[in-house]
Amino acid sequence: MTLGELNALRDGEAAQVFTACCGANRWVLEMVRRRPYSSIDHVVDTANIVWCEAGENDWREAFDHHPRIGEVRSAAAQDQRAAGWSSSEQSGAAVAQADAKRALAAMNAKYEARFGHIYLVCATGLSADALLAIARSRLDNDPATELRVAAEEQRKITELRLRKLLTEAP
């Protein structure tokens, strides 16, 4: 999609496109409202500003649009574009051996029991072992700190997705 195409979309269509990048409804509505954008960097800068204005409920809503590490389904429905991005981002977990996949599933459960939301990490380019190591290190965080860490990971994922959206060939 080009920047011009994004700017020209009807509000509902633009909302669907932005939801694939970040599932927080308030964030999506603000991104739609702040169009038109003059450059990809303008889109990303606006996305970061809007995300910084978001609160804990927005963060949790966005998290629900991601599958657990090593899984394919999210709590909230994803469109085909978002599901494809999630699959690509988690490819390191997808190709892991069975014992690593079991360890990831156990870590997901332990993490969620401790923090009340999925383990969210910008997983692009990371192996299952790296994802496990990051999760283990984050288990030492207090819940408030970890929520902020996960929100920052969401911000990184959103930025990657926005850049993919606006640079991928149709």
* 120-139 pLDDT tens trace: 999 888 888 899 999 999 99
Q: The tokens of 98 are what? A: 């069975």
Look at residue 92 in the predicted model and tell me its pLDDT. Answer: 61
pLDDT > 80? residue 169: no
Q: Contact, 60 vs 117, CB < 8 A?
A: yes
Look at residue 106 in the predicted model and tell me its pLDDT. Answer: 94
Task: Give phi and psi for 67, each to the nearest 5.
Answer: -75, 155
Q: Contact, 67 vs 74, CB < 8 A?
A: yes
- Fold of domain 3-165: UraD-like (1.10.3330)
pLDDT band at 140 (very low <50, low <70, confident <90, very high): very high
| H-type alpha helices, 34-127 | 40-53, 56-63, 80-89, 91-94, 98-115
pLDDT > 80? residue 89: no
Look at residue 170 in the predicted model and tell me its pLDDT. Answer: 58
Report how far residue 60's alpha carbon sits from residue 146's, in angstroms, rounded to the nearest whole number: 12
**Higher-confidence residue: 93 or 126?**
126
Task: Collect all residues with Cβ–Cβ distance below 8 Å to 31 and sequence separation of at least 6.
Answer: 14, 18, 43, 46, 47, 50
pTM for the whole structure: 0.89
